[in-house]
Amino acid sequence: GQQVMQIPQYQHVQEGEDFTTYCNSSTTLSNIQWYKQRPGGHPVFLIQLVKSGEVKKQKRLTFQFGEAKKNSSLHITATQTTDVGTYFCVSGGSYIPTFGRGTSLIVHP
């Protein structure tokens, strides 16, 4: 799989603040997936981006795929305590996924 670097490793926010995690690759990605893992849980698929410049929204979550298909971001607007968890970007070609190290989001009420 294609290596992906994810930043930041941790992010503390006050409830209601916005949050963004970034995923970068030195090579062009065929696609990028995002997963969420709640504390004590397992990763759960959120979305896949395939097209250059693609933007997808899921309620307060906005996912972007860069024009060069080398970077992606996940933005959460007005965080809630239910957003707590670790968010992973995953590159995958030929059905062999490579996970980024994840960004752990901590939301303070």
- Residues 20 to 79 in contact with another protein, rule: CB under 8 A: 33, 35, 41-45, 48
Considering beta carbons, is residue 65 or 88 the nearer one to another protein?
88
Q: Decide if 20 contacts 64 (C-beta within 8 A).
A: no
Which one among 38, 51, 57, 101 touches another protein, defined by CB under 8 A?
101
Structure tokens at 27: 């090579």
Residue-level length of the chain: 109
Rounded CA gap, 53 and 55, in Å?
Answer: 7
Residue 92: count of CB within 10 angstroms of its CB: 17
Least separation in angstroms between residue 20's CB and another protein is: 18
Answer whether 34's CB lies under 8 Å from 88's CB.
Answer: yes
Give the interface segment with another protein, choosing from 17-25, 61-69, 70-78, 90-98 (CB under 8 A). 90-98
Tell the smallest beta-carbon distance from residue 78 to another protein (Å): 27
11 touches another protein by CB under 8 A: no
* Binding-residue total with another protein (CB under 8 A): 22
Interior angle at CA 71, CA 66 and CA 72, nearest 5:
80
- Interface residues with another protein (CB under 8 A) are 1, 6, 9, 33, 35, 41-45, 48, 88, 90, 92, 95-102
